[in-house]
Amino acid sequence: MAKETDEVDRIVQAWIAQRPDLDFSPLEVLSRVDRLSRHLDRARRDAFRRSELEPWEWDVLSALRRAGEPFQLSPKQLLQQTLVSSGTMTNRIDRLVGRRLVHREADPDDGRSILVTLTGEGKTRVDAAITRLVDAEAVLLATLSRGDRERLAGLLRKLSLGFDV
């Protein structure tokens, strides 16, 4: 039975013919990750668009949703989860307040601070988006068995641990 090949196999074989002195195994892995990332990005953008959210809105709203009841975090906590600057976060919160997806309230434990809270509309949108996202990602992984998914997740976790701060 012939081994199935993809575009990365063809690219690597062409490089091996031209540069047999190089080890192209990193290209075999990371070019596939890059190509899959593009498919994932399209699927995510579509899931968010169908929920009338921009990807940056998803980042903030999903952080609040994952926090659990009462779905609120301080701007500092949101910064830590979304990895953006404080100026960017202030702008994002302002825009989400304007769309009535979050609201600000005084922190009862520190009168000088505020908390950002997910509104009912924000919760509805983020819940719809996560449902669409999980469904879309399941389609992307449909050719893998549960065991293959678990092995792949483990290998990717091992690889990504070196990059997580």
- Summarize the confidence of residues 82-100 as an average pLDDT: 92
Cα–Cα distance measured from residue 65 to residue 161, given in angstroms and rounded to the nearest whole number: 25
For 90-124, letters b (16+ CB in 10 Å) and e give eebbeebeeeebbbeeeeeeeeeebbbbbbeebbe
pLDDT at 101 over 90: yes
- C-alpha triplet 98, 45, 87: angle, nearest 5°: 40
Taking all residues of the chain, what is their mean pLDDT, rounded to a whole number? Answer: 92
SS3 of 9-46: HHHHHHHHHHCCCCCCHHHHHHHHHHHHHHHHHHHHHH
pLDDT single digits (tens) 120-156:
999 999 999 999 999 999 999 999 999 999 999 999 9
| Confidence category of residue 109, pLDDT binned at 50, 70, 90 | confident
Angle between helices 55-66 and 120-140 (to 10 degrees): 110
Predicted local distance difference test score (pLDDT) of residue 1: 64
Q: Which pLDDT does position 163 carry in this prediction?
A: 81
**Local confidence band at 2 (pLDDT 50, 70, 90 cut-offs):** low
What is the reported pLDDT for 165? Answer: 56
How many angstroms separate the CA atoms of 114 and 97, rounded? 13
Region 29-37: what's the mean pLDDT?
A: 94
- Distance (Å, rounded) from C-alpha 14 to C-alpha 17? 5
Residue 60: per-residue pLDDT: 96
pLDDT > 90: what percent of the chain?
83
Q: How far is CA 140 from CA 1, 120, 148, in A?
A: 25, 30, 13
